[in-house]
């Protein structure tokens, strides 16, 4: 079984709808991250969380919100989806802090906003 | 965050070594050099990291210049499964800042 799972894997929605993307991990990691990837570009950090009570904004948090329901779960919400939020979304986890710890990524959610 | 510069794309023949370069002339003393790769239709995966000394693991080797302003990821014997986008990243904290990476094509 995958260590980091994301649901749904694909979603098509309409402008103005509220969307929630979910991430679960079985690695027992405290740190979780949400990224988005646009075609031909690298990943950009949206939000990150170092434990259940901690939420931090990343590079591009406008238009997004997150919820850390438990150590293993980190959800990303688009309150009112717009077409330029069409992208590939990745969740990631890492263990203890520091610039040397690797991040483990989920398989991604492809979101299309019409 | 210090930036990295990588070629947009590279080609290599199967079963030959591949040297992927990365320039990071503004690297600070506390920056770790990380490499991740993203296979088609997958999330990124960790490859290797280092600080000052060259590093080897089962996937690759990382050669770091003495002045740390550049590094090279070495795949010793490329296979078709190594076709991916390779990201060179500098980290001094928990966050990863991705650039556009190098798209590696492997020719059979």
Q: What is the pLDDT of residue A109?
A: 97
3-state helix, strand, coil in chain A (%, to 5): 5, 50, 45
- The total of other beta-carbon atoms located within 10 Å of residue A95's CB is 14
Q: pLDDT confidence of B2, banded at 50, 70, 90? A: low
Q: Is the pLDDT of residue B108 over 80?
A: yes
Q: What is the pLDDT of residues A16-43, one digit of tens each?
A: 999 999 999 999 999 999 999 998 788 9
Mean pLDDT of B38-43: 92
Q: How many CB pairs lie under 8 A apart between chains A and B?
A: 58
Nearest-angstrom CA–CA distance, B38 and A94: 17
Q: DSSP character for B26?
A: T
Q: DSSP character for A15?
A: T
Q: Is the pLDDT of residue B54 over 70?
A: yes
Distance of residue B84 Cα from the nearest chain A Cα, in angstroms: 12
Q: Is the pLDDT of residue B28 over 80?
A: yes
Q: Which of residues 50-69 of B touch A (CB under 8 A)?
A: 51
Name the token pair of B15. 């079963």
Rounded to 5 degrees, what are φ and ψ at A85?
A: -95, 5
Of the candidates A103, A42, A35, which has an alpha carbon nearest to the alpha carbon of residue B6? A42
């Amino acid at each position: 079984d995958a260590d980091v799972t994301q649901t749904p894997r694909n979603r098509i929605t309409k402008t103005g709808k509220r969307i929630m993307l979910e991430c679960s991990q079985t690695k027992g990691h405290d740190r979780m991250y949400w990224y988005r990837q646009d075609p031909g570009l690298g990943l950009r950090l949206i939000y990150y969380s170092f434990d259940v009570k901690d939420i931090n904004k990343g590079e591009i948090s406008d238009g997004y919100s997150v919820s850390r329901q438990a150590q293993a779960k980190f959800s990303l919400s688009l309150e009112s989806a717009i077409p330029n939020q069409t992208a590939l979304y990745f969740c990631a986890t890492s263990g203890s802090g520091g610039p040397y710890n690797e991040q483990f990524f989920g398989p991604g959610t492809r979101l299309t906003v019409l | 965050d210090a930036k990295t510069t990588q070629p947009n794309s590279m080609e290599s023949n199967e079963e030959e070594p591949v040297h992927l370069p990365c320039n990071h002339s503004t690297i600070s003393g506390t920056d770790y050099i990380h490499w991740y790769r993203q296979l088609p239709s997958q999330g990124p995966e960790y490859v290797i990291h280092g600080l000052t000394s060259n590093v080897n693991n089962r996937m690759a080797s990382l050669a770091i210049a003495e002045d740390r302003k550049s590094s090279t990821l070495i795949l010793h014997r490329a296979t078709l499964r190594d076709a991916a986008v390779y990201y060179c990243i500098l980290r001094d904290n928990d966050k990863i800042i991705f650039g556009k990476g190098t798209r590696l094509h492997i020719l059979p």
